[in-house]
Homo-oligomer: A and B are copies of this chain.
């Protein structure tokens, strides 16, 4: 069965998903919508699909599923509208910046028995997925302590920062999801520290650019996350999971595998400098997982609940920083 897609939003990430959908043997990109006509037309031209309005796509009989890549503040409304219309929904993270709005939205999805998958693409990175597979195989025994290092090559524009909901909701949220994915248990306690070390303007905009977070589950499993908005050496994305029988880790990907030795030492080139280059394979794999889930009528993961729980962890981290205390997740129940 070929799943017929509408793409909502033709920006940077929309293009990534357009390519993933078009390249999948069981999917077809039927229509694209964007407030900016040229953006939509570019995708339509490249992949041979129609430009339509969101309303038209919502009403269309030749659309089975949508990929939502519009601005964050439209996500929840679109998820509700499209699950109401019986269409499967893949939505970029986050569902909304408000925990209450997300809860309300998920109630609608649940009432509709709709399919909702949230774009935590890193779960589909082959390397991180291999880490999880080793845990599942028992290679390291019981998971005990996780270290997630996640640093961006450079800070986004201030305008983006201001609309982002803050570093915990915008950047760390991926690491919260990864921690949940690898811990295999729900987090019960959160403690966080935040600072402005990269750019004062980020602080003046009310946000932080450097944060570290500790998580703990009810049985005592723990994780630490270290984030910075700027790493001169590239997009630093590493995971280590220490368990009762060993350690499994995923190293950074390198654009080229060369090394140059000289009197200055042995030098390997910097890391990827862009998340789309680093996670190319992950984006394709997550859309493939969505298509498979819809076609086989099995639950799609990461689910709306996964999106909710990662956002709650972001809220908890923010509260921990503000109140100088370890926050219990029961406060967000």
* A interface residues, Cβ below 8 angstroms from B: 126-127, 130-131, 134, 139-140, 142, 144-145, 147, 149, 151, 189, 191, 193, 195-198, 210, 212, 214, 216, 220-222, 224, 226, 228, 230-233, 236, 240, 242, 244-253, 255-270, 320, 324-326
Contact = CB atoms under 8 A, between A and B. Distances in A.
Given A134-B258, A265-B268, A193 B197 contact: no
Tell which of A226, A230, A261 has the most Cβ of chain B within 10 Å: A261
Total copies of the chain: 4
B242 A228 contact: yes
B131 A258 contact: yes
A220 B195 contact: yes
B268 A258 contact: no
Tell which of A126, A130, A228, A258 has the most Cβ of chain B within 10 Å: A258
Contacts of A259: 248-249, 251
A22 to B, nearest CB: 11
A229 to B, nearest CB: 11
A153 to B, nearest CB: 10
A264 B269 CA distance: 7
A264 B262 contact: no
Contacts of A249: 258-259, 261
Nearest to A270: B265
Given A145-B226, A246-B260, A250-B258, 8 more contacts: A142-B197, A144-B210, A191-B191, A232-B245, A232-B262, A249-B261, A251-B259, A264-B267
A147 B262 contact: no
A255 B249 CA distance: 14
Given A144-B228, A257-B250, A216 B191 contact: no
Contact of A224 (B134, B140, B226, B263): B226
